[in-house]
Amino acid sequence: MKTRCCLIALSSITFCMPLLAEIHIEPDPERPGGYIVSKADLEAREAELTSNPMYAVWAKALLTSANSVVEAIEPGKETNPDNVKRAESVFSEGEWNFLTHMAAPEYTYTRFLRAIGKFPAFCAYYSDGRDSDAICKRSIVTAFAHFAQETGGHIAKDNTSDNPLGLEEWQQALVHVREMGWSEGEVGYTTGCGQNDWQNKKWPCGSGQGYFGRGAKQLSYHFNYGAFSEAMFEGDATVLLNNPGLVADSWLNLASAIWFFLTPQAPKPAMLHVIDKTWTPSSREKEAGIGYGFGTTINIINGGIECGEQNKDKGQPVNRVRYWQGLAEHYQIPIGSNEKDTCWQQKPYGSINLDGAEDVLYTNWEANWEYYSDRPGGYSFECQLVGYQTAYSALVAGDYQRCVTNLYESHTSWPAVRVVDNIDPKDPDTPSSSEWKANKVYLKGDEVTYQGAKYIAKWWTQGDRPDLGGPWRSL
């Protein structure tokens, strides 16, 4: 691999860093005005941009089991996947019943196990010495603390008329399977549906469908239903876009919460990796007070509304913390000295200035808009990692190539690009040399003859007379 060497003035130390692989672009012989790029070049560039080991951790956490395997899961079944067996061992059906006296009938222990079984990384085995059972138990208890806030009954223990069993509020999770005030057949939460944008090209709204909150996480809006559907149905967004009610009436009502638990929303980490401490906070996060503990999971879910000094006494975060602490005490979850239950001392993720931060990882691809003088039109023909949602994820196989080819037309003014297996390299000893033509595209290294003199292109050019210099150098 080629390297670029730099001198650090203060210490006079020279260090070398790898240069990114070259991207070769040629005019598309099958489409006038279009271009071709090498698949190998794109794969090499993607590998370089996602070389941090955390990308592999994130991608592995989002791997799913086939639905045929998931739907065969039953409590106590010998053929259950290993992560499901671990969940059963640390959180039995009796414990489920203890926490779900008020739950809607659509939430069952079987569905809970199936939701876990869909994602082998949840309650997985850690081969590096970490306590797999303890992490599994903490993950489930953390999830229930958030369930109690998102879909709980919120009925005081001494309210005997509405709470005759005298249940703690942290025992009142999963009361609501649909957002209050909404029912199937109603069209709602359709903001953005039908617009001519990349979100609708990728996740088109179903006719007459409503995307109001459903399930333990209260999944809302078509772009979230589409993304979740892709995870559940092998890349098919239309399943839940056309039948969002499945998120209420099947094991997807709990799988949606597990999916959210495992999905990083860069720069926010996945909640799992806060709990198991696979994630390491960046310097900017540390400066913002963000570290390990339940408080950071609040920031991940709803930091803009519930975190920061101004929200210290607000009902939602106070409730979440109270539910977590009640559950943690009941289930004897140890709280580390470097963990905080609250997030009032943290800046919300949306308010952290990440400009220039070099230790923050992003998970979405967007067109690289840098100007490249040696490439057609100055376009990079590459994509870069960004900290906002786009049509292309760094955690989804094939999305880098989809970004470069602009599959969902998400970036404007992008040339037509086709990916090919191979581009025949030009032999430097036998350069192409022909009479210059004003309407022809020339790339760096192309040689032409003009008025009896020979010239070589210094970068991409079209219509520039060789004798006038600019992109041409005389030979």
* 282: CB partners within 8 A, 6+ apart: 267, 357, 359, 360
Distance CA 171, CA 326 (A): 9
Distance (Å) of CA 271 to CA 250, 258, 281: 24, 10, 13
* 153: CB partners within 8 A, 6+ apart: 102, 163, 167, 169, 172, 175
Q: Work out the number of other CB atoms within 10 angstroms of the CB of residue 158.
A: 7
Distance CA 379, CA 141 (A): 49
Whether 27 and 439 have beta carbons less than 8 Å apart is answered as: no
Whether 150 is catalytic: yes
* 299: CB partners within 8 A, 6+ apart: 268, 290, 306, 307, 343, 346, 348, 349
Token pair 């065969």 is found at 72
Q: Which of 46, 150, 169, 230 is catalytic?
A: 150
DSSP string, 303-363: HHHH-SGGGTT-HHHHHHHHHHHHHHHHTT----TTB-S--TTSPPGGG---TT-SS----
Catalytic center residues = 150
